[in-house]
Structure 1
Amino acid sequence: MLRIAIQAKGRLNEDSLELLSEAGVSIENGKRKLLARSGDFPLEVLYLRDDDIPQAVSMGVADVGVVGLNEVEEKGFDVETVHSLGFGKCRLSLAIPKAEAYDGLGYFNGKRIATSYPAILSRFFERNGIEAEIHEIAGSVEIAPSVGMADAIFDIVSSGGTLVTNGLREVETALHSEAVLIAGRTLSEEKRQLLAQLLFRIEAVERSRGMKYVLLNLPHEKIPEAIRILPGMKSPTILPLAQEGWSSIHVVINEKELWTKIEQLKAIGAEDILVLSLEKMIR
């Protein structure tokens, strides 16, 4: 049995459970439960505060965990970052009052900086030769300059709307973060095999995102042109139709390129084009 720690509530909780579901791992309703078990994969979920997850994994209380890279970097526990998951993206940035002039990192010398991430900020300042007063506070970091607690802040930024609301502007980014899958360094061979199985499923789900399965009919003589337009994962699948002189082409296309490719195919005579959602892509 593999035990995975995920955030007890919040956006990472929802995204983590959705990813597990897409990977064929259904979880019992975990509301008001510390532990919940999957009925179709040897896995149980431990619900924790996000900032407790790195420690739980390093201690072996959980075998693996889903947590923001920012928490991994801040806590500094000895864990292995196994896989970047692509959701929960944000950045840790320095922000100053919007009326202040800014001419580079030297601005922060001698300044007071409020943050919930003192370890990350200390390392960033050390790398850049900045000497500043770092004040650790929990929550509502963005109000610190307006109430006189600090000259600037270092905090998580997603859209930047909270900074604007509080009269601040982002000037430097120290870390780009997203949800990551972490693991303890002393997992047994059996648990490493279960982790590999889970990763296999997760990667199949990830590869399918933003991809479409396209089927179309095309005259035989246009196939070389279609192949130039539509390189597949290896090459398009081509099947002859009952109607003489025609073939069916099957291919996977990135959704960002979909309409451009369809227009190019129509221009060379493609007909009866079907676009289907792609659930999993297994290699």
Structure 2
Amino acid sequence: MIRLAIQKSGRLSEDSLKLIRECGISFVNSSLKLKTEATNFPLEILFLRDDDIPEYVADGVADIGIVGQNVLVEANQQALEVQALGFSKCRLSIAVPKTDTFNSIADLNGKNIATSYPNILGNYLAAHNVKAQIHTISGSVEIAPSIGLAEAICDIVSSGSTLISNGLREVEHVFKSEAVLISNQNLSEEKQQIIKQLLFRIQSVQKAQKSKYILLNAPNDSIEKIKSLLPGMKAPSILPLAEAGWSSVHSVVNEDDFWEIIEKLKDAGAQGILVVPIEKMIL
């Protein structure tokens, strides 16, 4: 059995549990419990503070964990980043009062910057030869300029609405982050095999989320043109229809290319196009 550490509450926790369920793993979850065990996979889930997850994984209390890259890098623990998970995307940015003039990162020389991420910020400033005073605070970082604690802040940004409501504006993007699966560096062969099985499921779910299954009807004299527009996993499946001179074409299209390809398919003569979500995709 392996132990997975995830955040005990919040959006990252919800998305992590959703991913585990999409991998076909069943468990009972309760807000009152700090751990739960899967009923159909050798997995125990621990619910922890996100800041504690890198240390728990590095120390071997948990075998793997799901945590934001920003938390992992800031913690500077000896845990391996195994897989980017594609959710809980955000950025760590420097912001200043919207009325302040800001031309470049050099403007921060000699200034005070409030942040909950002193290590990431310190490395960024050093890389840009900026010498500023870093004030480490936890929570409510955005209030620092208005109370005279700092001239700038460095904090996590998703939509930017919190900055705007506090009279701030982004001026530098310091670090891009998303949820990642991390692992202890010294796992037994047995646990590595279980993690490999879990990764296989996660990657199958991720591939499905990025793809659409499409079905369409087309006249046979348009098939070659339509085939050239459909990359698919290997080649589209083509089945004859009851109506002479027509075929049904089945394929998989990448989500990012979907609308552009659909337009081209219509122009090539495709009709009755159906789009179906994919639950799992195994190559």
Distance in 1, matches of 2:272 and 2:101, equals 60
Q: Is 1:131 aligned to 2:95, yes or no?
A: no
SS of residue paired to 2:145: coil
Match for residue 173 of structure 1?
Answer: 173
Q: What secondary structure, in the 3-state scheme, does the structure 2 residue paired with 1:138 have? A: coil
Aligned to 1:185: 185
Partner Cα separation in structure 1 for residue 66 and residue 38 of structure 2: 16
How many angstroms apart in 2 are the aligned matches of 1:273 and 1:134?
A: 57
Structure 1: distance between partners of 2:144 and 2:261 = 51
1:1-283 pair list within 5 angstroms: 1-283=1-283
Query: Identity of aligned pairs, percent?
Result: 54
Query: Match of 1:121, as an amino acid?
Result: L
Q: Which amino acid aligns with 1:88?
A: S
Greater CA drift, 9-18 or 202-211: 202-211
Determine the C-alpha separation between the residues in 2 that align with 1:44 and 1:188: 16
Q: Distance in 2 between matches of 1:119 and 1:264?
A: 49
Question: Which segment is superposed worse, 34-43 or 208-217?
Answer: 208-217
Structure 2 gaps, min length 5: none
Q: Distance in 1 between matches of 2:280 and 2:91?
A: 30
Deviations 1:3-34 (A, max 9, x none): 10000000100000001111111221132111
The change in CA–CA distance for 1:173 and 1:259 in structure 2 (over 3 A counts) is closer
Q: Which moved more, 1:244-253 or 1:258-267?
A: 258-267
One-letter amino acid of the counterpart of residue 77, structure 1: Q
Q: CA RMSD in A?
A: 1.4
Structure 2 Cα separation of the partners of residues 73 and 9 of structure 1: 21
What's the offset of the Cα at 1:42?
A: 0.8
Summarize deviations over 1:151-177 as a string: whole Å, max 9, x none.
Answer: 111111111111111111111111111
**Shift in CA distance, 194/101, structure 1 to aligned 2, threshold 3 Å:** same
Q: Distance in 2 between matches of 1:110 and 1:160?
A: 26
Question: Structure 1: which 5+ residue stretches go unaligned?
Answer: none
AA aligned to 2:154 is F
Residue identity in the other structure for 1:238: I
Question: How many pairs were matched up?
Answer: 283
Of 27-36 and 4-13, more deviation after overlay is shown by 27-36
Give the residue type in structure 2 aligned to 1:116. S
Code of the aligned partner of 2:102: Y
**Distance verdict in 2 for CA 1:106–1:256, change over 3 Å:** closer
Q: Deviations over 1:32-68 (max 9, x none)?
A: 1111011111101000000000000000000000000
SS at match of 1:14: helix
Q: Normalising by the residue count of structure 1, what TM-score does the alignment of the two structures yield?
A: 0.96
- In the TM superposition, residue 268 of structure 1 has moved relative to its aligned partner by 3.6
Q: Distance in 2 between matches of 1:226 and 1:240?
A: 15
Residue 239 to residue 70, structure 1, CA distance change in 2 (3 Å)? same
Q: Counterpart amino acid of 1:4?
A: L
Separation in 2, partners of 1:31, 1:248: 49
C-alpha separation in 2, matches of 1:101 and 1:279: 50
Please state whether the residue corresponding to 1:53 is helix, strand or coil.
helix
Amino acid at match of 2:155: D
User: 1:125-169: CA deviations, max 9, x gaps?
Assistant: 111111111111111010011011111111111111111111111
Distance 1:260 1:91, change over 3 A: closer
Secondary structure of 1:232's counterpart equals coil
For residues 33 and 185 of structure 2, what CA distance do their matches in structure 1 show?
A: 27
Question: Which residue identity lines up with residue 86 of structure 2 in the other structure?
Answer: G
Deviation digits for residues 243-263 of structure 1 (CA, Å, limit 9, x no counterpart): 433322110123444444334
TM-score where L is the length of structure 2: 0.96
